[in-house]
Amino acid sequence: NGQEFIQVQNPDALGTLSKLLRYVALVRINTTTSPVNYRGQPIGQLETRWVNTNIYVYMYALVMVALLGLIARYYLSIIENRRALAAKNSELNQEITERRRAMEQVQNLKIQQDGDYFLMTLLTRPLTGDHHRSETVTVQSLVKEKKQFVFRQRHAEIGGDICISHSLELYGRPYTVFINADAMGKSMQGAGGVLVLGSVFKTIIDRTQQTHQGRHTYPEQWINHTFVELNTVFESFDGSMLVSCVLGLIDDMSGLLYYINAEHPFSVLYRDGRAVFTEDQLSFRKLGVSVPGANQEVWVRTMQLQPGDVMILGSDGRDDLIMRDESGETYINEDERLFLTTVEQSEGQIQAIYDRIHACGEPMDDLSLMRLA
């Protein structure tokens, strides 16, 4: 008759898990129970269970679970990668700290080394240079060492090349004494040779100037004795320190030149616009070369210089050049006569010679030049 005969009152609310499963359209886990009344009287309870029979719903649920698994796996991999990255960062920071500490040690050693270099330059500086006084003979020297450094904002260089000139009187005649030398080795080893050579040579000069016997010595004898004394000193190093050099005297009044070349690059005479070598063969071995059982006879070369003549001496840095051909390929110069052309083009001027050498190529070794005119 259209009247209500069953009434469900106060239905139980769905739980949180049931709501989630209902949302993903799966199955209700717990049963919903509600009291049933008939004409106001309770007659029982209504139990409601819900199950979805659509297979696509389960496929959808499977996809959702798979996605949740991938998300969880990705999240776990992110956490693991972050841990690994943190460990790598820690190792990297430790390595950076160790490298920084090592670089600081290297820098400290470099400062100490530059300090030793600077001390060596202070020791050798008073022994080198032009100290002659003459109205007729001029001496110019230029030394460019390969090793350059900075110590406490002071730029300096160190190497094995040396140029020295002094004035002497032998039997009352004024002479200009000179030596251009190249000690074996780089940096500190070469500078050690320079220190020894400069010290011994300065001692010989002072002894000559201060003693009667020294002042009363003929030029040939003086060069002979000086060469033998220098060679004896360097022989004591048992071949670990060798020096090539040109040692000579110029009579300031007559222009007569006395000199010895000990395995040094040939000397050059620039006269009337032409440059020629004054030697054509090796005369003596380097200072310090000892040949057992052999007595090296020392003989002195002589040459009469004329007014306007220029003598150019130089170490092997003048010839050992890294040059480039037309295709841009690099090669090492082997033409010793290139230096003659350089002297002629520079008209015997020492700075111009130095500039043209660098224009031709890059010197591989220390470079020293000495000009006597």
DSSP letters spanning 199-226: HHHHHHHHHHHH-HHHHS--HHHHHHHH
Q: Using 50, 70 and 90 to split pLDDT, how confident is the model at 189?
A: confident
- Chain length of the chain: 373
- Say how far apart CA 219 and CA 249 lie, in whole Å: 7
- Which ranges of 166-312 would DSSP assign to H, the alpha helix? 187-210, 212-215, 219-235
Which one is predicted more confidently, 186 or 209? 209
What is the model's pTM? 0.73
Q: pLDDT exceeding 90 applies to what percent of the chain? A: 53
pLDDT-derived band at 261 (thresholds 50, 70, 90) equals very high
Report whether pLDDT(146) > 50.
yes
Highest mean pLDDT among 10-19, 242-251, 273-282: 242-251
| Region 208-221 average pLDDT | 93
Rounded Cα distance between 270 and 373, Å, is 9
Tens digits of per-residue pLDDT, 16-55? 655 555 555 455 445 667 787 877 788 887 776 655 555 6
Q: Which domains does the chain have, with CATH numbers?
A: 7-48 (no CATH), 128-372 (3.60.40.10)
Q: What is the pLDDT of residues 322-370, one digit of tens each?
A: 998 888 888 898 888 999 999 999 999 999 999 999 999 989 889 999 9
pLDDT in tens, 94-129: 999 999 999 999 988 888 888 888 888 889 899 999
| Strand ranges for the chain from DSSP E | 7-8, 32-38, 41-48, 129-130, 139-144, 147-151, 154-158, 161-170, 173-183, 243-251, 256-262, 268-271, 274-277, 301-304, 310-314, 321-324, 330-332, 362-363, 367-372
Both tokens of 202, joined, read 């300065």
On whether the CB atoms of residues 249 and 257 are closer than 8 A, the answer is yes
pLDDT of 289 higher than 90 = no
Can you give the pLDDT at residue 228? 93
> 8 or 326, which is more confident?
326
Rounded to whole angstroms, what are the CA distances from 188 to 52, 79, 113, 153, 233?
A: 94, 57, 10, 20, 19
CA pair distance 131, 128, nearest whole angstrom: 8
What gap in Å lies between CA 46 and CA 48, rounded to an integer? Answer: 6
pLDDT bin (cut points 50, 70, 90) of residue 278 is very high
What's residue 255's pLDDT? 95
316 three-class SS: helix
pLDDT of residue 48: 67
Query: Average pLDDT, whole number, for the chain?
Result: 86
Q: Do residues 137 and 250 touch, judged by C-beta distance below 8 A?
A: yes
Contact of 171 with 200, CB cutoff 8 Å: no
pLDDT tens figures, 63-91? 888 899 999 999 999 999 999 999 999 99
Single out the residue of 191, 160, 286 nearest to residue 231, CA to CA: 286
| Angstrom distance (rounded) from CA 151 to CA 113 | 9
Q: What is the pLDDT of residue 28?
A: 47
Q: For residue 310, is pLDDT > 90?
A: yes
When pLDDT is cut at 50, 70 and 90, the band that residue 304 belongs to is very high
Gap between the Cα atoms of 367 and 347, Å rounded: 19
For the chain, how long is the longest CA-to-CA vector?
162
Across 242-250, average pLDDT? 96
**Residue 260's pLDDT is what?**
95
Q: Side-chain half-sphere of 222: how many Cα atoms within 13 Å?
A: 28
The pLDDT of residue 50: 57
